[in-house]
Structure 1
Amino acid sequence: MRISTITMYEQSLNSLNRQQGEFLKIGQHISSGRRVVNPSDDPQAAALAVGIDQAKAVDQQYANARVSARNSLSQEESVLNSTSDFIVRARTLLVQAGNDTLGDVDRQAIGLELQGIYEGLLGQANSADGNGRFMFGGFQDDTPPFVQGADGKVSYVGDSGVKGQQVDSARLMPSVDNGQAIFKSADDADLFATLENLIGTLATPVASEADKANLQSVLATAGKALGKSFDNVLAVRASVGARLNELDVLDVVGGNRMLNYEQVLSDRLDLDYNKAISDYTLRQVGLQAAQKAFVDVQKLSLFNQL
C-alpha cells in the first residue's frame, strides 16, 4: 500500500496541531494554577465545583444576614441599656419622693425630672435604625410605634410581629423585639402609664391626710410597676445577649464551613505543579519533534528532488 505525499503531509500537520494544542493546554493550567480550567478537563470535578460555589453563595448570604442581625441587636442592646438607666434613676427618685419631710415644691421638682425621664424613654422607644425604619413597631416600621394622644397619654400603635433574619440554614433569629415586649411588664402594665400617673400625682399639692395616703399608695404601686418593668428589660437584654453570642458561634461555624469548601475545591481543582511542569517539558519535546517531522515531510516533494 502506497502512502501519498499529501497523506503524509496531513498526518504530520495533524500531529503538529495536536501536540501544539496539548502544549498550550498545559501552559494554560500552569498560568491559572488550576487542574480544571474547562469543564471538559474533568466533568465530575467541574460539576462539584459548581455545587460548592452555589453552597458558598448561600453561606455568604447567611453571613450577610448575621451582620445585619448583629447590627440590629447591638442597636437594641444600646436602647435597652439606656432604658435600664432611666428606670434605675426613676426608682431612685421614687424613693426620694416618699420622704415625709419633702414639701410640694420638692415633689414637683422630682416630677419635673421624672418628666425628662419619661420623654427620654419615649425617644428610646421610637428609635429608628440606619435606614430610618422604626425599630420597635414590629412589622409596622414606617411610623412611630409609641404615640402621645391629646390627653398626653402614650399608647402603642405597632403590632406584635417580630422581625427575623435567616442567619443559618436552620436558624431564623429574631433580630429585634417589638415595643410591647420591651416596654410592658409581665402583668401588661405600660411603663409610660406608670410614669404618667406618678408625675401627675407629684404635681398635686398634699394638703390633707387623705392626700398623703393617696401619695403613698401611688408611690407604692409605681414602685412595684417600675420594678417589674426593670425586670422585663433585664430579661430582654439577656435574650439579646444570648442571640449576639449565638451569632458569634454561627460565625465560627460558617467560617469553618467556608474553609472546608475551599479545601475541597483545592483538592479537586488545584494543579499539581511538579506533575504539570514535567508534562509541560514532555509536551515541549513532543511539539519540537512534531515540528521537525512536519518540516521533513515538506522536503519529500518530488519537486525538491529535481
Structure 2
Amino acid sequence: MRISTLTMYEQSLNSLNRQQGDFLKTGLQISSGRRVVNPSDDPQAASLAVGVAQAKAVDQQFANARVSARNSLSQEESVLSSSADFIVRARTLLVQAGNGTLADADRNAIAQELNGIYQGLLGQANSQDGSGRYLFGGHQDGTPPFVQDADGRVGYVGDDGVKAQQVDSARLMPSVDNGRAIFASAEDADLFGALKDTIDVLNTPVADEAGRENLRTVLASSGKALDKGFDNVLAVRASVGARLNELDVLDVVGSNRMLNYEQVLSDRLDLDYNKAISEYTLRQVGLQAAQKTFVEVQKLSLFDRL
C-alpha cells in the first residue's frame, strides 16, 4: 500500500487535533465542576437536567406564591388582632353604658369613645397592602370595600370573591378573606351596624321610661351582635393561623424537593475530580506526545527514504 507524505501529515494532524480536543474538554470539565459540559457529552443526562431545571422553575414559582400568600395572611392576621381588641373594648363600654345611674353626659362620653372604635374598625376593614390594593374587597381591590353613607352607616361594596394563590402543585390557598366574611355578615353579627345603633342611642337623651327601655333594648341587641362579631373574627383568625402553619409545612416540603433536585443533578452531572485530574494528566501526556510526533512528521519526507 502506498503512503504519501500528505497522508502521513494529515494523520498526524488529526491525532494532534483529537488529543488537543480531549485535553481541552477535560480542562473545561475541571474548571466548571461538571462532567457534562455540552449536551453531546451525555445526551441522556443533559435531557434529565433540562427536565429537572423546569421542575425547579415551577417549584420556585410556588415558593414565590407562598411568600406572597404569607405576606397577605400575616397582614390579615394583624388586622384581625386589632379588630378583636376594638370589639373587646366596645363590649366593655356597652356594659358601662347599661349602668342606670349614668347621666346623659356620661353616655355621650361613652358614645365618643365608641365612635373612635367605629372609625378604627373602619380603617382596619379598609386596610391596603404594600401595593395600595385593598385587602378585603374580594376581587374589587381598587376602591375601599367599606363606605359610609350620608347617615354615617357603613356598607360593604366589595364582592364575595376570595383571592387565592397556587402555593403548591395540589394546593390553591385562599390568601385573604373578603370583608363580608369578617365584618359584615348577612346575619345580625354586623359589627358596624351594631356600633352605629349604640352610638346613636347613647347620644339620645333619656327623658322617660320609654327612653330607658329603648336604651336597654339597643344595648342588648348590640351586645349580642358584638359577641357574634367577636366569635366570627376569632374563627377567621384561627383559619388564617392554620393557613400560615400550612405554608410553613409546604416550605419545608418545597425545600426538601429542591434538595432532591440538586442531588439528582449532582449525581448525573457533577464531576469526579480525582478521576478527572488523573485523566487530565494522561491527556496532557498524550497531547505532548502528539505534538512531538507532529513536529517530527513535518520534518519527514518519503524522498529521505529513497
Pairwise same-fold verdict (TM > 0.5): yes
* Aligned 1:238-253 pairs, distance under 5 A: 238-253=238-253
Match of residue 263 from structure 1: 263
* Aligned 1:1-306 pairs, distance under 5 A: 1-185=1-185, 187-301=187-301
Q: CA deviation at 1:292?
A: 1.6
Q: CA deviation at 1:188?
A: 4.9
Q: CA deviation at 1:153?
A: 1.2
Runs of 5+ unmatched residues, structure 1: none
Asked if structure 1 preserves the Cα contact closer than 8 Å seen for 2:156 and 2:184, the reply is no
Asked if structure 2 preserves the Cα contact closer than 8 Å seen for 1:165 and 1:172, the reply is yes
Q: CA deviation at 1:305?
A: 7.8
Q: Secondary structure at the match of 1:129?
A: coil
Amino acid at match of 1:61: Q
Asked if structure 2 preserves the Cα contact closer than 8 Å seen for 1:139 and 1:161, the reply is yes
Asked if structure 1 preserves the Cα contact closer than 8 Å seen for 2:4 and 2:302, the reply is no
In the aligned structure 2, how far is the partner of 1:219 from the partner of 1:211?
A: 12
Give the count of matched residue pairs.
306
Asked if structure 1 preserves the Cα contact closer than 8 Å seen for 2:86 and 2:121, the reply is yes
In the aligned structure 2, how far is the partner of 1:166 from the partner of 1:93?
A: 43
TM-score, reference length from structure 1: 0.97
TM-score, reference length from structure 2: 0.97
Amino acid at match of 1:49: A
Asked if structure 2 preserves the Cα contact closer than 8 Å seen for 1:63 and 1:254, the reply is yes
Amino acid at match of 1:104: D
In the aligned structure 2, how far is the partner of 1:251 from the partner of 1:89?
A: 37
Amino acid at match of 2:280: Y
Q: Secondary structure at the match of 1:228?
A: helix
Asked if structure 2 preserves the Cα contact closer than 8 Å seen for 1:36 and 1:46, the reply is yes
Q: Secondary structure at the match of 2:2?
A: coil
In the aligned structure 1, how far is the partner of 2:264 from the partner of 2:207?
A: 83
Q: Secondary structure at the match of 2:155?
A: strand
Q: CA deviation at 1:185?
A: 4.8
Map Cα deviations across residues 89-128 of structure 1 (whole Å, 9 max, x no partner).
Answer: 0000000001111111101110110011001111111111
Asked if structure 2 preserves the Cα contact closer than 8 Å seen for 1:133 and 1:141, the reply is yes
Map Cα deviations across residues 152-183 of structure 1 (whole Å, 9 max, x no partner).
Answer: 21110000000011100111110000000100
Asked if structure 2 preserves the Cα contact closer than 8 Å seen for 1:107 and 1:203, the reply is yes
In the aligned structure 1, how far is the partner of 2:150 from the partner of 2:222?
A: 23
Amino acid at match of 1:7: T
Q: CA deviation at 1:209?
A: 1.2
In the aligned structure 2, how far is the partner of 1:188 from the partner of 1:20?
A: 85
Q: CA deviation at 1:65?
A: 0.5
Amino acid at match of 1:179: G
Q: CA deviation at 1:223?
A: 0.7
In the aligned structure 2, how far is the partner of 1:292 from the partner of 1:157?
A: 87
In the aligned structure 1, how far is the partner of 2:196 from the partner of 2:157?
A: 18
In the aligned structure 2, how far is the partner of 1:189 from the partner of 1:237?
A: 16
Amino acid at match of 1:103: A
Q: Secondary structure at the match of 2:134?
A: coil
Asked if structure 2 preserves the Cα contact closer than 8 Å seen for 1:186 and 1:228, the reply is no
Q: CA deviation at 1:135?
A: 0.7
In the aligned structure 1, how far is the partner of 2:109 from the partner of 2:80?
A: 26
In the aligned structure 2, how far is the partner of 1:150 from the partner of 1:102?
A: 30
In the aligned structure 2, how far is the partner of 1:251 from the partner of 1:127?
A: 27
Q: Secondary structure at the match of 2:3?
A: coil
Could you tell me the percent identity over the aligned residues? Answer: 81
Map Cα deviations across residues 9-38 of structure 1 (whole Å, 9 max, x no partner).
Answer: 111111111111111110110110000000
* Higher alpha-carbon deviation: 93-102 or 296-305: 296-305
Asked if structure 2 preserves the Cα contact closer than 8 Å seen for 1:184 and 1:232, the reply is no
